[in-house]
Structure 1
């Protein structure tokens, strides 16, 4: 007994496993996974866009501050330039027009008197300008030929032209360029003035050191001060902000010196830039080319960083004539986005687990209910089938018992030469034998449900005096799932009912219905024929329309050919129709796959 339980357990589990709709489950899981992946990606995009919006706000703030500061610094530089021109006029009044009559001590004295940081005098020598006198000995003999825009301005001044080089402040006989590093002392940041009106044999070059005042201004109210505030108020994910000199990234800086410590060539104009990566040059160029922000995620020192480059053009701070923009760089901690996504992923996994569990429970419940329903249908069909089997067996027993009596009676009639009586006596016996043969053929069908319904229709044909013929072949290996068999029985039953209804309109001797079936090339073919009145041509074309019926004035309880067609199409079925003067023919074809549950069915009806 114990052996039976142990051995039976795996068999029960195997049956459950075989009948469980794994295809449906897989489709369900794929749908759930797809939905959650879409939701996850949507959340990722949403969080990333939120991060980008924060960056855009920061960038806009820095750009506004930069624009405001550039306006302030432009005014600051212009004020210094005006003072340098006034100082140049005072120097011209105090010195001899010939630099040979001027000594460096005079320039030192004038520097102190005018509150300058230095004075140099340039002599033009061919295509070069050389410092011949200076308050600073380091300036002596310095050449401006390699000083870019300073050299260009001196050339125009010496030619008695108004300076026009696209930058700096140009006044009468005077030009002052942007603040920059001193070539003779790279630890100093200066602003120079260039003055020449033709009355002297030298260009007057007064200058002041501005590093301290400029740094004080920026640290108190400038961009640097505001960057510090922004970093302090966004410590959770803001890593760094910098205003960058894009020319430095492109390695085509404006001055011929190309020195990293020159003020005009510095990479970082404001803020700090420690989060460097190999992609920054390409992304910065792309931002400038598109004239819009460029975002990208990169790995820096083991940390995932979301960086952005936003071009910003301000003419007040440009060094060259070309309008090459500054670039605002913002680096944020992408791990904050990843952390939020990980939390989202945990929620998604929990959601999937709950939904999958509920889905499995629902599918199992549906499976149990459907199985019970199908078992009930199968039981009803089997009951009919067994009743018919019992009826046939009983008929065979009765006929075997009566056959000797029939033979005795026929023998007597033939000996008495009562041939007509013998013929009349034989006719019902032949009919009974044909009926029994049909019933035996129906029994031979390998699908109890189909066998049972044909048995039932045979009994119905007998009741209505309808000559019915049954012919099935090659049905030994026929395998149908419960659902397919149930649907096929519904189709056959309704088509047979339609055939009976149509042939009953004829006289008794003309009533006939036949059903044939065979399995060929893994396909089940069923053909149903019936005699009837000819069907009008316009009705033939509408047979499968929804709501159409040829049973006018009659109570129609059948499915209707349209519904039958839809039912078959659920199993990938087709239907054709062939009508003639002698009757109608319906032909069904269903592809068979005995190893696959719920395989699709094709049904072709040939009328």
Structure 2
């Protein structure tokens, strides 16, 4: 009984372990799937952002080109309004002309023997600045003076005109300006009208600019924490600055490491990853912790056409920048936590249900086993009692037998005496044979089956040898169940035949390490047993009135003792079941 409990407990533990392993695998598989899904989602978002940013950036540059054309028109208008000799142009003329042409200021650049300087202007702060350190502006100025056109591959080039992007001013380092430069040779100076960023470009950028798109994207997508455009050339160098003639520090918008967006989630491998993404032109994703947050950070290279707003440290346009996206991994973790809670609930429910089912199954099995053992024990007791009763009856009738023998002897009825003693001797011998089997349980069973056979007019032959070393207890009960079911099965079969053909033979013997029983009976339809699952529970060849459990019980008990059961069809119209059980 304890062993059966341990088996069921082991089965329950195995079920719980299997559920745990299954759910653990499911959890980590789900985690990987969610991570892959988030990365795919980020790639998709990044592509959309890349397209949006590029459209916005290109739109901004197109807008700047339109401004450039306006500055050229202003320059031509100023040329017609001003004297071709810079010495004859006055400050007042430039101030009035700036207002009429709706620009911030107009400055005139004069070429000297060793430089090009801001010679006259409507803004007094402009006057006196030399431009030889303004790269690439100084090269453009020289080309205008020399060839009337600019050939450098940067900025906006029109006929007799050149303009760069919006940039911080050398003369006022806190102000952002856009300058146009015109020279067609009809004057001895370059005309330089310029406007402020706040007056022209700022409104456009606030409505449709890159930083506006980034801000809206971050607001609408709770997963994203940060978006930044990184200049791969200047990113390792930090802020790009120069010192003006006045000693002020001048920042360069076009050469900043962070082109747009913010850079608050700094990772110690950023420089290496930006370089790798830029050089390989392949996206890179890292799973790490930044600012005490578990994040996924993407590095996505974006190729661009010639741009006037993104330059390397030497002032040359770059053809690729790196877009970085930082996503909050907590989104995945929240989903995983929710999934884990669901899994834990399912696991707990399944485990409880499994335990309940296992308990009910074990309880039902135990009850059925207890009932079966109890029934077997009751049968065993009845059969033992029957055996003892038969012995007592013989002892009780002994005096009657002696008196009958004495009477027959006195009357000289020799033939009747022989017949009577022969019958009496046979009965005593039969009972002695049963007692001599050696195992009370088997002896009682055989005694009971002999009585049953007599009442059914079945010829029952028995032969047992060396069975006196069998033990009692559960093993004896199992033996009586095996033998009893085989004999009952034989009874059911022979009862289909006439009395003269109702023959059953029971043999038993004990060898070293095993015991063997053979139950033979009359059977005409031997072919109906061939290839049939006769040892399966519920299968029967005797019709619907039989449960089909007898042979299944025999097989179960024999298997428990690692024994064997086989059918032998080696005699005509006889079938033999041979059971061998290991001792």
The TM-score normalised by the length of structure 2 is: 0.64
CA spacing shift, 1:67–1:453, aligned 2, 3 Å: farther
Q: For residues 106 and 452 of structure 1, what CA distance do their matches in structure 2 show?
A: 142
State the Cα deviation string for residues 525-552 of structure 1 (Å, max 9, x = none). Answer: 765441545766686234659998766x
Q: Which residue of 1 aligns with 2:59?
A: 72
2:249 equivalent to 1:247: no
2:372 equivalent to 1:387: no
Q: Please, which runs of 5 or more residues in structure 2 have no aligned partner?
A: 120-125, 243-248, 312-316
Match of 2:264 among 274, 281, 299: 274
Q: Which residue of 2 aligns with 1:559?
A: 548
CA spacing shift, 1:91–1:432, aligned 2, 3 Å: same
CA spacing shift, 1:515–1:328, aligned 2, 3 Å: farther
Q: Count residues in correspondence.
A: 541
State the Cα deviation string for residues 538-597 of structure 1 (Å, max 9, x = none). Answer: 86234659998766xx776251799679968997998654422354444557899xxxxx
Q: Which residue of 1 aligns with 2:431?
A: 432
Alignment of 1:556-595 (within 5 A): 557-559=546-548, 576-581=566-571, 583-587=574-578
Q: Please, which runs of 5 or more residues in structure 1 have no aligned partner?
A: 1-13, 445-450, 593-607
How far did residue 26 of structure 1 move?
1.7
State the Cα deviation string for residues 440-464 of structure 1 (Å, max 9, x = none). Answer: 43527xxxxxx98777545544552
2:463 equivalent to 1:465: no
SS at match of 1:380: helix
Alignment of 1:12-161 (within 5 A): 21-30=8-17, 33=20, 37=24, 62-63=49-50, 66-86=53-73, 131-135=115-119, 137-142=128-133, 144=135
How far did residue 383 of structure 1 move?
0.9
Q: For residues 480 and 147 of structure 2, what CA distance do their matches in structure 1 show?
A: 111
CA spacing shift, 1:569–1:138, aligned 2, 3 Å: farther
The TM-score normalised by the length of structure 1 is: 0.62
CA spacing shift, 1:562–1:294, aligned 2, 3 Å: farther
Q: Which residue of 1 aligns with 2:505?
A: 513
Contact between 2:518 and 2:578, CA under 8 Å: does it hold in 1? Answer: yes
Q: For residues 462 and 234 of structure 2, what CA distance do their matches in structure 1 show?
A: 96
SS at match of 2:459: coil
CA spacing shift, 1:95–1:545, aligned 2, 3 Å: farther
CA spacing shift, 1:417–1:371, aligned 2, 3 Å: closer
SS at match of 1:394: helix
CA spacing shift, 1:338–1:573, aligned 2, 3 Å: farther
Q: Which residue of 2 aligns with 1:374?
A: 369
Larger Rg: 2
State the Cα deviation string for residues 149-182 of structure 1 (Å, max 9, x = none). Answer: 99799999989999595x6544446554555567
Q: For residues 240 and 50 of structure 1, what CA distance do their matches in structure 2 show?
A: 18
Q: Which residue of 2 aligns with 1:5?
A: none
How far did residue 142 of structure 1 move?
2.9
Q: For residues 282 and 517 of structure 1, what CA distance do their matches in structure 2 show?
A: 87
How far did residue 324 of structure 1 move?
2.4
CA spacing shift, 1:401–1:238, aligned 2, 3 Å: closer
CA spacing shift, 1:423–1:64, aligned 2, 3 Å: same
State the Cα deviation string for residues 81-129 of structure 1 (Å, max 9, x = none). Answer: 32454567679999999xxx989x9799998666557566789x9xxxx
Q: Which residue of 2 aligns with 1:597?
A: none
How far did residue 387 of structure 1 move?
0.9
Contact between 2:301 and 2:323, CA under 8 Å: does it hold in 1? Answer: yes
How far did residue 391 of structure 1 move?
1.7
Contact between 1:178 and 1:191, CA under 8 Å: does it hold in 2? Answer: yes
SS at match of 2:68: helix
